[in-house]
Amino acid sequence: MTTTYHALTEAEAIAYAQGLPNIFSPDAVLTSREIGDGNLNLVFHISDEKSGRSLILKQALPYAKVVGESWPLTLDRARIESEALQLQGSLCPDLVPHVFAYEKELALTVMEDLSDHVIMRKGLIEKNKYPLFAKHIGRFMARTLFFSSDLGMNQQEKKLRVGRFINPELCKITEDLIFDDPYRDSENNNIEDHLKDAVQAIWQDRELHLEVAILRNTFLTRAEALLHGDLHTGSIFIKEDSTKVIDPEFAYYGPMGFDIGAVLANLLLNYAGQEGWSAGETERTYYREYLLETVKEVWTVFEREFRALWDNETVDPMSETPAYQDWYMNRVLQETFGFAGCKMVRRIYGLSHVADIDGIEDAAARERAQRLALAIGTTLIKRGRQASSIDELIAVAREASVA
């Protein structure tokens, strides 16, 4: 097979996998299924019927699959993804898939198969509970953000690493779809008719626009830590005793609150959608409580672990300055509120929605979920710069639910 870039067929994916050293035996009987359900890539699941062994081949396409060939997209994102996965794996080996190989010419990453896990978004829609999730994701974010920041790594090496993770095309997707299009009449938006009044109100809300502009500026300019960059519940494989963070192709050096806000926003989007998925009031109430407890625990674990790393492992002598740590953590919290809000708003009427909401068949229930998500999201954006405790975020969700 030629290794000049082209999108692989399933037969070529099988041939490629068969040629990998030390994975499948020569008499393996390989089959392939293309299972990519995301917005951007091909994902081949390759398995050997005889041995039961399997792996994943993920290939970047030179355009955004969700839109088509009219939206070209760099193949370098496959390098960024494989390097980010390997860095994350060195800090949290149990929380990311193992990378076996990366093939630059084909923009192809060979990695561990996680088919015994489910995509977390699906698991939440089915109202499953994951007792270790908050501990896992809190530790993942604390370690990956701390050790890639000026607090946790040599500051000159960090500058070189920032260079390796300049990711302009993927960042532009975020800058447009999260911090621009939802606040004006952009052709990228995808607005259901019944939401037009709510969207018009957002387009006219100057107080909200100021907060979004400030958050956008922070996203554009603050090279604080190596972010995953797209840490929603579709980027997490999960089962009761295991969590695996996947898909860091949007990785770049940005503000920590962007990753934390992504996790919290996607828990809250599921919270907003629960009415549409629930069989009964009691079951829905219990599940919503579980989601809010999880939101609080994610932040609490992140903060506790990050502060412990700061106290024990910092390489920045000025970080011991009294009150600096408290100032820093409060700024991360405030930005987490704002970014979480932006991430909720864009998933309701921007280009790319979420199944937690769009999958609700009953139009009236879907509309209530959408309006609730917009109420929570816009309030978080506006309250962010005054926030001082994660309890305020929980209160915003509760108050919006009874309004």
Answer yes or no whether residue 173 interacts with ligand SR1 by CB under 6 A: yes
Answer yes or no whether residue 18 interacts with ligand SR1 by CB under 6 A: no
Q: How far is CA 230 from CA 7, 81, 178, 205, 239, in A?
A: 24, 11, 11, 27, 20
**Which residues ranging from 179 to 238 are in contact with ligand SR1 (CB under 6 A)?**
230
Identity of the residue, 12 or 249, whose beta carbon is nearer to ligand SR1 in the bound complex: 249
Where would I find the H helices in 183-280?
A: 196-203, 206-221, 256-277
Answer yes or no whether residue 265 interacts with ligand SR1 by CB under 6 A: no
To the nearest whole angstrom, how small is the minimum distance from the Cβ of residue 385 to Mg ion? Answer: 29
Furthest C-alpha separation in the chain: 65
- Which of ligand SR1, Mg ion, none does 64 bind, CB closer than 5 to 8 A by kind? ligand SR1
Identity of the residue, 102 or 250, whose beta carbon is nearer to ligand SR1 in the bound complex: 250
Q: Which of 39, 242, 314, 401 binds ligand SR1 (CB under 6 A)?
A: 39
Classify 184 as helix, strand or coil.
coil
Buried b (16+ CB within 10 A) or exposed e, 367-392: bbbbbbbbbbbbbbbbbbeebeebee
Annotated binding residue at 196?
A: no
To the nearest whole angstrom, how small is the minimum distance from the Cβ of residue 352 to ligand SR1? Answer: 4
Identity of the residue, 32 or 370, whose beta carbon is nearer to ligand SR1 in the bound complex: 370
Answer yes or no whether residue 107 interacts with ligand SR1 by CB under 6 A: no
- Tell me the one-letter amino acid at 220: L
Nearest to 78 by CA among 113, 46, 104: 104
Which long-range contacts does 369-372 make (Cβ < 8 Å, 24+ apart)? 369/272, 369/273, 369/274, 369/275, 369/276, 370/192, 370/195, 370/198, 370/272, 371/195, 371/198, 372/272, 372/400, 372/401
CA distance 78 to 145: 21
Strands (E), 242-339: 242-245, 252-254
Q: Which of 7, 66, 213, 364 binds ligand SR1 (CB under 6 A)?
A: 66
To the nearest whole angstrom, how small is the minimum distance from the Cβ of residue 343 to ligand SR1? Answer: 9
Answer yes or no whether residue 245 interacts with ligand SR1 by CB under 6 A: no
CA distance 54 to 29: 11
Answer yes or no whether residue 177 interacts with ligand SR1 by CB under 6 A: yes
Tell me the residue length of the chain: 403
To the nearest whole angstrom, how small is the minimum distance from the Cβ of residue 392 to Mg ion? Answer: 30
To the nearest whole angstrom, how small is the minimum distance from the Cβ of residue 235 to Mg ion? Answer: 5
Pick the piece of the chain touching ligand SR1 (CB under 6 A) from 107-115, 170-178, 288-296, 324-332. Answer: 170-178
To the nearest whole angstrom, how small is the minimum distance from the Cβ of residue 68 to ligand SR1? Answer: 11
Contact residues toward Mg ion (CB under 5 A) are: 38, 247
Answer yes or no whether residue 267 interacts with ligand SR1 by CB under 6 A: no
CA distance 153 to 90: 14
Annotated binding residue at 248?
A: yes
**Which residues ranging from 323 to 362 are in contact with ligand SR1 (CB under 6 A)?**
352
Contact 369, 273 (CB under 8 A): yes
Contact 142, 152 (CB under 8 A): no
- Residues tagged in the binding site annotation for substrate: 230, 346
- Binding residues for ligand SR1, per CB under 6 A? 39-40, 64, 66, 173-174, 177, 230, 352
Which residues belong to the annotated binding site? 41, 58, 112-114, 230, 247-249, 346
